[in-house]
Amino acid sequence: MLIHQRSIKKEVTLSGTGLHTGEKCTITFQPAPVNYGYRFVRTDVENCPEIPALIDNVVEVLRGTTIAVNGVKVHTTEHVLAALYGLQIDNCRIEMSGPEPPVMDGSSYSFVEVLLEAGFQEQDEPKNYLVIDETIEFHDPVNSVDLVALPLDSFRVTVMVDYKNPALGSQHSGLFDLDKEFVKEFSSCRTFCFLSEVEGLANQGLIKGGAMDNALVIIDKTMQTEELDNLADKLSVDRQHLSLGENGILNNRDLRFPNEPARHKLLDLLGDMALLGMPLKAQVLAARPGHASNVEFVKQLKKYADRNKLARQYQHEKKAGVIFDINAIQKILPHRYPFLLIDKIVEFKLDERIVSIKNVTMNEPFFQGHFPGNPIMPGVLILEAMAQTGGIMMLNGNDNLQESVVYFMGIDKARFRKPVLPGDTLVLEAVVTNRRRNVCQFDGKAYVRGELVCEASLMATVVPKGK
């Protein structure tokens, strides 16, 4: 069934104070046209610059996700974006009179309420889902963080957290149906921190808008009366309204769900995944996620999306185990017989790694002279096959292929280990080691039957034709 994009029907507004900056802000949600996505607009800055909510615009992930364009920032975007993503709104203009959305009660619920009040408007264009058909992973072994996206023809998220704290312990939560569960089960789950962190956050100026009613504070240490007095001063709250309590939460505040912290981590993950710029069809599993890991995970998803976009552009017939067949390669590379030296691309991670296949047959024209009676593939042509593989790696979805050409600038550390003979299948791998603007460095390796036959470091650049 074709599912269409949607926006909101009318403009809605709410006001409050930003959690980290402490600045007052009025946020206004407005309808937006198809394929607009989510864009924040800083109305308090000259010319009202737009900051698209996209992963490439993330600049900070300390205690929240901050995006920026040309130095103009929007702090703590995740709760607003979670509300939009959870309600499956595709297009919305978000005007703000300050640098940070109001924290409200520390959840997404206030934003959800006004967006529901605005109502939804179905639009003429279909949703552009990113459909995952292979495992996408992010691992941070230092912090024991794992995020994985698995193929699924719907959207599910499961989160596990383990803070080794008696008030929390190990918790997990799962969202299996956005329509049925998001508003009632997740949108009202509040942000939280540990008591041991509060003083440090206050000293760093990271919770200027923090208050007892916009975050849960988990008690993970004991405090003497004098320490509580100092903490009340730093938070600018009445000391009489500050107590350790007995349920493991500062001031004995009740949890809205027994696993509210885990649910809030899932809410944050939804907000950060909104930065992908398209809805996802996948099963997402997250262990101990945070904004830094969420952002790196979304970057992996973005590379997968870009690669799939290129595949759809050049590879019109889907073939098992093939990213680009020879017909697609000829649309990408200018080389033709007898100098097109790769037959298909079988692996492609954008800006990271690519693997091609060259089937070496006795019909290759160079075997007539290299050498009669002892046919061996010239080493320089193995390097050229590496170079052509790397040339496809330099695709980034933005290059005008008809108006551009790849020039190789250098070959270093070339080594030829074993001869390549007729009947061999040459497997060529290129791994990016450095990329700056239009210049790319990569390590190339060639294998036959799993044995290394050639390796080299190469450098290339993309330039307009005729330069």
Contacts 24+ apart (CB under 8 A), 344-349: 345/389, 345/392, 346/321, 346/322, 347/323, 348/307, 348/311, 348/323, 348/324, 348/392, 348/393, 349/303, 349/307
More confident residue, 212 or 83: 83
**Cα separation of 382 and 32, whole Å?**
52
Report the mean per-residue pLDDT for the chain.
Answer: 90
Place of tokens 């703000």: 96
342-348: average pLDDT: 93
Residues 6+ apart with CB under 8 A from 28: 11, 12, 13, 94, 95, 96
Instruction: Identify the active-site residue in 139, 291, 316, 335.
Output: 291
Res. 184: pLDDT tops 80: yes
Whole-structure pTM value: 0.80
Q: Tell me if 254 sits within 8 A of 213, measured CB to CB.
A: no
What CA–CA distance (Å, rounded) separates 19 from 210?
A: 5
The residues spanned by each domain of the chain are: 4-189+261-310, 192-255, 315-464
Q: What is the pLDDT of residue 226?
A: 73
User: For residue 339, what pLDDT band results from cuts at 50, 70 and 90?
Assistant: very high
- Least confident interval from 69-73, 263-267, 318-322: 318-322
Q: For residues 359 and 427, what is the distance between their CA atoms, to the nearest angstrom?
A: 9
The neighbouring-strand residues paired with 42 are 96
Cβ distance 277 to 54 under 8 Å? Answer: yes
Task: Tell me, rounded to whole angstroms, the distance of Cα 369 from its chain centroid.
Answer: 51
Instruction: From 97, 258, 233, select the one nearest 167 (Cα to Cα).
Output: 258
User: What is the pLDDT, as a whole number, of residue 464?
Assistant: 80
From 382, 385, 387, select the one nearest 408 (Cα to Cα): 387
> Considering 139, 172, 335, 370, which one is annotated as catalytic?
370
| pLDDT for position 232 | 67
**Local structure of residue 278 (DSSP, 8 states):** S
pLDDT of residue 36: 97
Structural tokens at position 166? 């008696």
User: Could you read off the pLDDT of 194-247 as tens digits, one per residue?
Assistant: 877 776 666 666 566 666 667 788 877 777 777 777 776 666 566 666 777 677
How much is the pLDDT for 42? 98
Q: How far apart are CA 270 and CA 158, in angstroms?
A: 11
Q: What is the pLDDT of residue 249?
A: 81
Burial-class residue 116 by CB neighbours within 10 Å (0-12, 13-18, 19+).
Answer: middle
Does residue 370 carry a catalytic annotation? yes
| 50 pLDDT more than 80 | yes
CATH of 315-464, one of 3.40.50.150, 3.40.50.1580, 3.10.129.10, 3.90.79.10: 3.10.129.10
pLDDT of residue 203: 63
pLDDT at 432: 94
Per-residue pLDDT band at 317 (split at 50, 70, 90): confident
Q: For the segment 367-424, what is each residue's pLDDT rounded down to a tens digit? A: 999 999 999 999 999 999 999 999 888 865 545 566 778 888 999 999 999 999 999 9
- Distance, in Å, from the CA atom of 129 to the CA atom of 188, rounded to the nearest integer, reads 26
Q: What is residue 361's predicted lDDT score, i.e. its pLDDT? A: 96
> Which of 282, 76, 87, 283 lies closest to 184 in space, CA to CA?
87
| Mean pLDDT, residues 413-436 taken together | 95
CATH classification (class only), 4-189+261-310: alpha beta
Residue 205's pLDDT is: 60
Q: Does residue 277 surpass a pLDDT of 50?
A: yes
pLDDT at 221: 73
Predicted pLDDT of residue 398? 47
Residue 223 contacts by C-beta under 8 Å, 6 or more apart in sequence? Answer: 195, 231, 244
Average pLDDT over residues 44-59: 97
Stretch (H or E) spanning 387: helix 379-393
Average pLDDT (110-131) is 96
Is the model's pLDDT at 285 over the cut of 80? yes
pLDDT at 351: 84
In this prediction, residue 214 carries a pLDDT of 73
Enter the tokens of residue 357: 């296949």
